[in-house]
C-alpha cells in the first residue's frame, strides 16, 4: 500500500468514526485546544472532557486563568492527576498574556517555550488549534506506526530519531492535509489500534500492517513494573486530596495532615509533604505563635497566589 493509499484509508475511516469531543466543536478557541492537550497529558480523554467543560466555562481565556488563585486552579483540576500540570497551565496562561498579548502562538519555538508545553503539545496545538503543519507524535500515533511500519506490538519508551523521521514522512506537506492526517491517525490509535485489545478487524489499514501480517506477535521486552500502593506518589496524592477538600481559607495543622497517611514508612509522610511544598503545590504557614521553632505549629493549605507566604 502506497503512502497515498494509506493516508486516504485512514482519512476515510476518520470521516466515519471520529469522536465528537468537546474541544473539536466548531468555535473552540486555540486556548481551549491547548487546555485540552495539557489535561490529556497522561490522563485518558474520557476523564478530561467534563473537567475541560467546567474549566473553560470558568476561565475562558488565558487572561482569566492567569488571574486565578492557585488554590482554585488546583481544586478545579481535581483528580486528573499530576497536579503540577495545573500550576504549569496557569503559568502558561500568564506567559501567553505577557509574551503574546493573550493570543496562543503559532510558531513552534514560541509554543515550546511555554510552561507545560513539550514536543507533543506544541505539535498538537499547531495542528489542532491553528490547522498548521506539524508532526504529532503521541502514544497513539507511535503505536500505530510501530505496528504498521516496524511490525512491533508497542513502541519503545521514547521516540527515536528514526521514529520521528518515519512519522514526518507520512505527514502531508500542506497545512490543511497535515492537520487532517494528524488527527485521523491519532484517532485510529485511540479507537482501533489500541494498546490492550486492538480491533484489527475494524482497521482500515490492516492489510498494510506489518504487525498484523506477522500474526500480532507480543513484544519481546515487558515494561518495568510500577508500584503504586505505598509509593511517594500515592502519599502526595492523598495529601493533596485532603487539602483540596479543606474549606476556603482553612488550614490544617501538620500533625493532623500527616496523620492521614498510613504509617508503614515512618518518614514518608514528612518527605511527601516537603516535596509538595517544594513543588509549590502546598503552602506552608508558620504557627500562630510565630516562633517558627515549633514544627508542630505549622499549618498547611493549598497555595494562594495573592496572600504572602511566610516561611516558618
Partner DNA sequence: AATACGGGGTG
Partner DNA sequence: CACCCAGTATT
Residue 106 C-beta: closest distance to DNA, Å: 16
154 binds DNA (CB under 7 A): yes
119 binds DNA (CB under 7 A): yes
The DSSP secondary structure of 210-275, one letter per residue, reads HHHHTT-PPPSSPPPP---TT-HHHHHHHHHHHHHTSPTT--EEHHHHHTTS--SSTTHHHHHHHH
Q: Which stretch binds DNA (CB under 7 A): 5-13, 60-68, 207-215, 228-236?
A: 228-236
Determine which one of 4, 5, 37, 163 is catalytic: 37
Member of 9, 240, 243, 283 binding DNA (CB under 7 A): 240
45 binds DNA (CB under 7 A): yes
Are residues 22 and 48 in contact, defined by beta-carbon separation less than 8 angstroms?
Answer: no
Residue 111 C-beta: closest distance to DNA, Å: 9
Which residue shows C-alpha cell 516561611?
A: 311
Other C-beta atoms lying within 10 Å of the C-beta of residue 142: 21
Q: How many helices (H) and strands (E) does the chain have?
A: 15, 3
**Closer of 121 and 298 to DNA (Cβ):** 121
Rounded (5°) CA angle 140-143-146: 150
Stretch (H or E) spanning 198? none
Q: Which stretch binds DNA (CB under 7 A): 61-69, 134-142, 169-177, 207-215?
A: 134-142
Residue 285 C-beta: closest distance to DNA, Å: 21
Report 93-112 residues binding DNA (CB under 7 A): none
Cα separation, 127 vs 106, whole angstroms: 9
Member of 120, 181, 211, 212 binding DNA (CB under 7 A): 120
Member of 233, 251, 285, 305 binding DNA (CB under 7 A): 233
Q: Which stretch binds DNA (CB under 7 A): 61-69, 206-214, 236-244, 287-295?
A: 236-244
75 binds DNA (CB under 7 A): no
Look up 37 and say whether it is catalytic: yes
Nearest to 34 by CA among 143, 112, 137, 101: 112
* Euclidean distance between the first and the last CA atom of the chain, given in angstroms as a whole number: 66
φ, ψ (nearest 5 deg) of residue 260: -75, -10
**Closer of 219 and 291 to DNA (Cβ):** 219
Are residues 271 and 232 in contact, defined by beta-carbon separation less than 8 angstroms?
Answer: yes
Strands (E) in 37-132, as ranges, are: none
42 binds DNA (CB under 7 A): yes
Stretch (H or E) spanning 300? strand 299-301
17 binds DNA (CB under 7 A): no
Residue 2 C-beta: closest distance to DNA, Å: 26
Report 189-218 residues binding DNA (CB under 7 A): 190, 195-197
Nearest-10 crossing angle of helices 161-170, 3-17: 80
Member of 115, 151, 172, 287 binding DNA (CB under 7 A): 115
The residues binding DNA (CB under 7 A) are 21, 23-24, 36-37, 40-47, 79-84, 88, 115-122, 124, 138-140, 143, 154, 157-158, 186-187, 190, 195-197, 222-223, 225-226, 228, 232-234, 236-238, 240-241, 275
Active site residues: 37
Amino acid at each position: 500500500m502506497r503512502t497515498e493509499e494509506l493516508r486516504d484509508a485512514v482519512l476515510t475511516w476518520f470521516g466515519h468514526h471520529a469522536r465528537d469531543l468537546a474541544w473539536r466543536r466548531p468555535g473552540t478557541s486555540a486556548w481551549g485546544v491547548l487546555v485540552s492537550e495539557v489535561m490529556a497529558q497522561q490522563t485518558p480523554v474520557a476523564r478530561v472532557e467534563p473537567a475541560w467543560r467546567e474549566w473553560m466555562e470558568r476561565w475562558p481565556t488565558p487572561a482569566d486563568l492567569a488571574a486565578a488563585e492557585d488554590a482554585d486552579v488546583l481544586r478545579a483540576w481535581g483528580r486528573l492527576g499530576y497536579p503540577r500540570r495545573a500550576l504549569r497551565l496557569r503559568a502558561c496562561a500568564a506567559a501567553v498574556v505577557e509574551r503574546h498579548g493573550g493570543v496562543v502562538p503559532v510558531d513552534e519555538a514560541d509554543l515550546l517555550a511555554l510552561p507545560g508545553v513539550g514536543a507533543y503539545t506544541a505539535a498538537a496545538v499547531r495542528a489542532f488549534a491553528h490547522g498548521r503543519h506539524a508532526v504529532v507524535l503521541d502514544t497513539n500515533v507511535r503505536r500505530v506506526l510501530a505496528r504498521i511500519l516496524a511490525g512491533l506490538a508497542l513502541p519503545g519508551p521514547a521516540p527515536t530519531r528514526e521514529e520521528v523521521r518515519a512519522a514526518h514522512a507520512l505527514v502531508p506537506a500542506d497545512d490543511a492535509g497535515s492537520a487532517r492526517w494528524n488527527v485521523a491517525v491519532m484517532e485510529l490509535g485511540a479507537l482501533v489500534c489500541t494498546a490492550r485489545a486492538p480491533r484489527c478487524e475494524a482497521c482500515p489499514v490492516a492489510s498494510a500492517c506489518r504487525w498484523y501480517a506477522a500474526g500480532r506477535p507480543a513484544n519481546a521486552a515487558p515494561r518495568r513494573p510500577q508500584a503504586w500502593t505505598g509509593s511517594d506518589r500515592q502519599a502526595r496524592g492523598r495529601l493533596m486530596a485532603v487539602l483540596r477538600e479543606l474549606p476556603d481559607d482553612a488550614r490544617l495543622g501538620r500533625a493532623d495532615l500527616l496523620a492521614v497517611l498510613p504509617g508503614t514508612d515512618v518518614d514518608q509522610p514528612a518527605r511527601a509533604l516537603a516535596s509538595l511544598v517544594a513543588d509549590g503545590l502546598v503552602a506552608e504557614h508558620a504557627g500562630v505563635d510565630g516562633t517558627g521553632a515549633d514544627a508542630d505549629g505549622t499549618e498547611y493549605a493549598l497555595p494562594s497566589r495573592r496572600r504572602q507566604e511566610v516561611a516558618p
